[in-house]
Amino acid sequence: MPVSNDIVVDQTRQDNITRILDAAEGLFRHFGYSKTNVADIARELGMSPANIYRFFASKTEIHQALCARMLAASYQMAQEICQLPLSASERLHRYVHAQHKMTVELMLDDTKVHEMVIVAIEREWHVIDKHIDRIDALLADVIREGIAAGEFRDQDADAASRCFGAATVTLCHPQMVAQCLSKTNRASPEELVEFAINALKI
Protein backbone atom coordinates (compact mmCIF):
# COMPACT_ATOMS: atom_id res chain seq x y z
CA MET A 1 0.00 0.00 0.00
CA PRO A 2 1.57 3.34 -1.08
CA VAL A 3 2.36 5.93 1.58
CA SER A 4 0.13 9.00 1.45
CA ASN A 5 1.81 12.27 0.49
CA ASP A 6 0.12 13.85 3.52
CA ILE A 7 1.85 11.34 5.81
CA VAL A 8 5.22 12.07 4.20
CA VAL A 9 4.67 15.84 4.54
CA ASP A 10 3.60 15.47 8.19
CA GLN A 11 6.65 13.32 8.96
CA THR A 12 8.98 15.76 7.22
CA ARG A 13 7.46 18.64 9.16
CA GLN A 14 7.84 16.76 12.44
CA ASP A 15 11.44 15.90 11.60
CA ASN A 16 12.19 19.58 10.98
CA ILE A 17 10.51 20.58 14.25
CA THR A 18 12.56 17.99 16.13
CA ARG A 19 15.79 19.23 14.51
CA ILE A 20 14.98 22.82 15.45
CA LEU A 21 14.14 21.89 19.04
CA ASP A 22 17.27 19.76 19.40
CA ALA A 23 19.46 22.57 18.07
CA ALA A 24 17.73 25.17 20.25
CA GLU A 25 18.09 23.03 23.36
CA GLY A 26 21.78 22.49 22.64
CA LEU A 27 22.38 26.24 22.27
CA PHE A 28 20.24 27.13 25.31
CA ARG A 29 22.26 24.63 27.38
CA HIS A 30 25.59 25.93 26.11
CA PHE A 31 25.07 29.69 25.94
CA GLY A 32 21.91 30.19 28.00
CA TYR A 33 18.36 31.03 26.96
CA SER A 34 18.72 34.81 27.12
CA LYS A 35 21.91 34.79 25.02
CA THR A 36 20.50 32.68 22.20
CA ASN A 37 18.28 34.02 19.42
CA VAL A 38 16.51 32.56 16.38
CA ALA A 39 19.38 33.57 14.10
CA ASP A 40 21.77 31.50 16.23
CA ILE A 41 19.49 28.46 15.95
CA ALA A 42 19.19 28.91 12.19
CA ARG A 43 22.97 29.21 11.85
CA GLU A 44 23.46 26.04 13.87
CA LEU A 45 21.18 24.19 11.43
CA GLY A 46 22.62 25.79 8.30
CA MET A 47 19.33 27.40 7.35
CA SER A 48 17.85 30.88 7.24
CA PRO A 49 15.88 32.41 10.13
CA ALA A 50 12.90 32.60 7.73
CA ASN A 51 12.92 28.81 7.57
CA ILE A 52 12.72 28.60 11.37
CA TYR A 53 9.74 30.94 11.32
CA ARG A 54 7.90 28.50 9.04
CA PHE A 55 7.61 26.24 12.09
CA PHE A 56 7.78 28.62 15.06
CA ALA A 57 6.57 32.21 15.23
CA SER A 58 9.19 33.23 17.79
CA LYS A 59 11.91 32.11 20.19
CA THR A 60 9.22 32.03 22.86
CA GLU A 61 7.28 29.41 20.88
CA ILE A 62 10.44 27.31 20.58
CA HIS A 63 10.95 27.63 24.32
CA GLN A 64 7.34 26.62 24.98
CA ALA A 65 7.76 23.53 22.80
CA LEU A 66 10.97 22.60 24.65
CA CYS A 67 9.21 23.10 27.96
CA ALA A 68 6.39 20.83 26.81
CA ARG A 69 8.92 18.20 25.77
CA MET A 70 10.64 18.27 29.17
CA LEU A 71 7.31 18.04 30.95
CA ALA A 72 6.27 15.12 28.74
CA ALA A 73 9.35 13.22 29.92
CA SER A 74 8.42 14.04 33.53
CA TYR A 75 4.86 12.83 32.99
CA GLN A 76 6.01 9.61 31.35
CA MET A 77 8.24 8.92 34.36
CA ALA A 78 5.31 9.56 36.71
CA GLN A 79 2.98 7.38 34.66
CA GLU A 80 5.41 4.45 34.66
CA ILE A 81 5.80 4.64 38.44
CA CYS A 82 2.06 4.97 39.06
CA GLN A 83 1.40 1.82 37.02
CA LEU A 84 3.82 -0.37 38.99
CA PRO A 85 2.27 -3.38 40.79
CA LEU A 86 2.98 -1.88 44.21
CA SER A 87 0.96 -0.42 47.06
CA ALA A 88 -0.42 3.09 46.60
CA SER A 89 1.88 4.38 49.34
CA GLU A 90 4.96 2.92 47.70
CA ARG A 91 4.03 4.34 44.30
CA LEU A 92 3.49 7.83 45.75
CA HIS A 93 6.75 7.50 47.65
CA ARG A 94 8.68 6.50 44.54
CA TYR A 95 7.08 9.17 42.39
CA VAL A 96 7.99 12.07 44.68
CA HIS A 97 11.57 10.87 45.14
CA ALA A 98 11.98 10.33 41.39
CA GLN A 99 10.57 13.80 40.64
CA HIS A 100 12.88 15.37 43.21
CA LYS A 101 15.86 13.55 41.69
CA MET A 102 14.87 14.66 38.17
CA THR A 103 14.46 18.26 39.32
CA VAL A 104 17.88 18.32 40.99
CA GLU A 105 19.76 16.55 38.20
CA LEU A 106 18.08 18.03 35.13
CA MET A 107 16.98 21.47 36.21
CA LEU A 108 19.46 22.49 38.88
CA ASP A 109 22.76 20.78 38.10
CA ASP A 110 22.65 22.44 34.67
CA THR A 111 22.27 26.18 35.36
CA LYS A 112 21.37 26.92 31.74
CA VAL A 113 18.45 24.49 31.87
CA HIS A 114 17.42 26.02 35.19
CA GLU A 115 17.26 29.40 33.46
CA MET A 116 14.87 28.00 30.84
CA VAL A 117 12.64 26.47 33.50
CA ILE A 118 12.50 29.63 35.60
CA VAL A 119 11.57 31.78 32.59
CA ALA A 120 8.76 29.33 31.78
CA ILE A 121 7.46 29.37 35.36
CA GLU A 122 7.58 33.17 35.62
CA ARG A 123 5.60 33.55 32.39
CA GLU A 124 2.93 31.16 33.70
CA TRP A 125 2.64 29.22 30.46
CA HIS A 126 -0.40 27.01 30.00
CA VAL A 127 1.80 23.98 29.30
CA ILE A 128 2.88 24.01 32.96
CA ASP A 129 -0.70 24.25 34.26
CA LYS A 130 -1.70 21.43 31.91
CA HIS A 131 1.16 19.29 33.23
CA ILE A 132 0.14 19.92 36.84
CA ASP A 133 -3.45 18.94 36.03
CA ARG A 134 -2.27 15.69 34.39
CA ILE A 135 -0.04 14.82 37.34
CA ASP A 136 -2.88 15.57 39.78
CA ALA A 137 -5.17 13.24 37.81
CA LEU A 138 -2.53 10.51 37.77
CA LEU A 139 -1.94 10.70 41.53
CA ALA A 140 -5.69 10.88 42.18
CA ASP A 141 -6.05 7.49 40.49
CA VAL A 142 -3.34 6.06 42.74
CA ILE A 143 -5.02 7.52 45.82
CA ARG A 144 -8.38 6.17 44.64
CA GLU A 145 -6.86 2.71 44.39
CA GLY A 146 -5.37 3.13 47.86
CA ILE A 147 -8.81 4.02 49.24
CA ALA A 148 -10.41 1.00 47.54
CA ALA A 149 -7.72 -1.27 49.01
CA GLY A 150 -8.30 0.11 52.51
CA GLU A 151 -4.81 1.62 52.56
CA PHE A 152 -6.07 5.21 52.77
CA ARG A 153 -9.14 6.56 54.54
CA ASP A 154 -12.25 7.34 52.51
CA GLN A 155 -11.91 10.83 51.00
CA ASP A 156 -12.20 12.89 47.83
CA ALA A 157 -9.30 11.51 45.79
CA ASP A 158 -9.08 14.54 43.51
CA ALA A 159 -8.86 16.97 46.42
CA ALA A 160 -6.42 14.65 48.20
CA SER A 161 -4.20 14.58 45.13
CA ARG A 162 -4.08 18.37 44.94
CA CYS A 163 -3.25 18.57 48.64
CA PHE A 164 -0.58 15.88 48.30
CA GLY A 165 1.00 17.86 45.48
CA ALA A 166 0.91 21.06 47.52
CA ALA A 167 2.44 19.30 50.53
CA THR A 168 5.38 18.00 48.47
CA VAL A 169 5.82 20.98 46.13
CA THR A 170 9.15 21.96 47.70
CA LEU A 171 10.56 18.70 46.33
CA CYS A 172 9.30 19.29 42.78
CA HIS A 173 9.22 23.04 42.09
CA PRO A 174 12.67 24.03 40.69
CA GLN A 175 12.90 27.36 42.51
CA MET A 176 11.81 25.87 45.84
CA VAL A 177 14.14 22.89 45.44
CA ALA A 178 17.03 25.25 44.72
CA GLN A 179 16.26 27.33 47.82
CA CYS A 180 15.83 24.33 50.13
CA LEU A 181 18.88 22.27 49.07
CA SER A 182 21.31 24.41 51.06
CA LYS A 183 19.04 24.91 54.09
CA THR A 184 19.50 22.82 57.21
CA ASN A 185 16.23 23.84 58.84
CA ARG A 186 13.96 22.26 56.20
CA ALA A 187 12.24 18.86 56.30
CA SER A 188 14.19 16.22 54.40
CA PRO A 189 12.61 14.68 51.27
CA GLU A 190 11.99 11.45 53.18
CA GLU A 191 10.34 13.24 56.11
CA LEU A 192 8.11 15.29 53.82
CA VAL A 193 6.98 12.32 51.71
CA GLU A 194 6.21 10.22 54.79
CA PHE A 195 4.25 13.10 56.34
CA ALA A 196 2.17 13.59 53.16
CA ILE A 197 1.43 9.87 52.78
CA ASN A 198 0.49 9.50 56.44
CA ALA A 199 -1.96 12.38 56.04
CA LEU A 200 -3.87 10.24 53.52
CA LYS A 201 -4.26 7.49 56.10
CA ILE A 202 -5.49 9.46 59.11
Domains and CATH numbers, the chain: 1-57 (1.10.10.60), 60-201 (1.10.357.10)
Q: What is the pLDDT of residue 110?
A: 60
- End-to-end alpha carbon distance in the chain: 60
Chain segment 76-89, per-residue pLDDT in tens: 999 999 999 999 99
Task: Kindly compute the dihedral angle of the four CA atoms of residues 143, 149, 150, 156, in this order, to the nearest 10 degrees.
Answer: 30
Q: What is the pLDDT of residue 108?
A: 58
Q: CB 21: neighbour CB atoms within 10 A?
A: 19
List C-alpha distances in Å: 33 to 21, 26, 30, 112, 132. 13, 10, 9, 7, 24
Q: What is the pLDDT of residue 9?
A: 61
Q: What is the pLDDT of residue 54?
A: 94
pTM of the model: 0.80
Which residue positions in the chain have pLDDT lower than 70? Answer: 1-9, 107-114, 124, 178
Give me the helices (H) in the chain, please.
5-31, 38-45, 49-52, 59-82, 88-102, 111-122, 126-148, 157-167, 174-181, 189-201
